[in-house]
Amino acid sequence: MKNPFLIGTTVYLRPLERADAPTLVPWVNDPEVSRTILLHRPMNLEAEVAFIDRVNASEHDVVLGVMTKDSDQLIGATGLHHIDFKNRHAAFALSLGDKEEWGKGYGTEATALVVKYAFETLNLNRVWLHVFEYNERAVRVYEKTGFRREGVLRQDMYREGRYWNTYVMAILREEWEASEAAVTG
Instruction: Say if 1 falls within a structural domain.
Output: no
Task: List the one residue out of 153, 31, 17, 152 whose CA is nearest residue 74.
Answer: 17
Q: Provide the residue range defining the domain that includes 121.
A: 6-184
Q: What is the pTM (predicted TM-score) of this model?
A: 0.92
- Looking at the structure of the chain, the number of domains it has is 1
**Per-residue CA distances from 173 to 5, 49, 76 (Å):** 21, 33, 25
CB 168 within 8 A of CB 153: yes
Residue 25 belongs to a domain with what CATH number? 3.40.630.30
Per-residue pLDDT of the chain (185 residues; tens, 9 = 90+): 888 899 999 999 999 999 999 999 989 888 888 778 776 678 889 999 999 999 999 999 999 999 999 999 999 999 999 999 999 999 999 999 999 999 999 999 999 999 999 999 999 999 999 999 999 999 999 999 999 999 999 999 998 899 999 999 999 999 999 988 766 65
In the chain, the amino acid numbered 67 is M
